[in-house]
Amino acid sequence: MLLGLSKIIDCPGATVDFSTSVDLSDLLYGTCYPVSEPVLASGTVRNTAGVLVMQGEIRTCIHGVCDRCASDFQQDVEFPIDVVLVRELANEENEDEWVFPLEGDNANLEEIVRTVFVLNMDSKLLCKPDCEGLCCRCGKNLNDGPCSCQKEIDPRLAALRQLLK
């Protein structure tokens, strides 16, 4: 999936729009492959004073298994694309910028989308940021409310109370 940029490469101010769909269903997170739907990417590459700047967005819906409570969940995700395309990668490149090399006069859209997606995705999949997870003793999903083992008194504390009587 190459995006031809020969029209704008020597033409400051010129732009090329792009819109593509990338298959990232081979990305493994924990024990599941959550990117089962196509990943849509769209935006514009602009020659800004001789520098090729690619901006746009990536969106898809992930179907994951929560790392904490093990329930299935769906989540729409959207990440910005903001990268610079260069003819050759040089060591003195600003490390704050995401820089990708051109292939001839083309940008490799699939590689850029894949990299931006991976860098933006949390390595942990959670059904919600504040997921309570499962009780480590009874296995109850604590998102559904507290379980009964939390009311039990720690046996060491119980012994101490006996001594204090």
- Residues near Zn ion (CB under 5 A): 66, 68-69, 127, 131, 135, 137-138, 147, 149
Residue (138 or 159) nearer to Zn ion, CB: 138
Question: CB of 37: closest distance to Zn ion in angstroms?
Answer: 20
**How does strand 51-65 pair with strand 15-22?**
unpaired
Residue (11 or 70) nearer to Zn ion, CB: 70
Question: CB of 79: closest distance to Zn ion in angstroms?
Answer: 21
Question: CB of 25: closest distance to Zn ion in angstroms?
Answer: 22
Q: Tokens for 52? A: 């090729």
Residue (149 or 160) nearer to Zn ion, CB: 149
List of long-range contacts for 3-10, beta carbons under 8 Å, 24+ apart: 3/45, 3/106, 3/107, 3/109, 4/105, 4/106, 5/45, 5/52, 5/85, 5/102, 5/105, 5/106, 5/107, 6/105, 8/45, 8/46, 8/47, 8/52, 9/47, 9/52, 9/105
C-alpha count within 13 angstroms, C-beta hemisphere, residue 21: 5
Residue (13 or 129) nearer to Zn ion, CB: 129
Question: CB of 122: closest distance to Zn ion in angstroms?
Answer: 13
Residue (137 or 161) nearer to Zn ion, CB: 137
Question: CB of 33: closest distance to Zn ion in angstroms?
Answer: 18
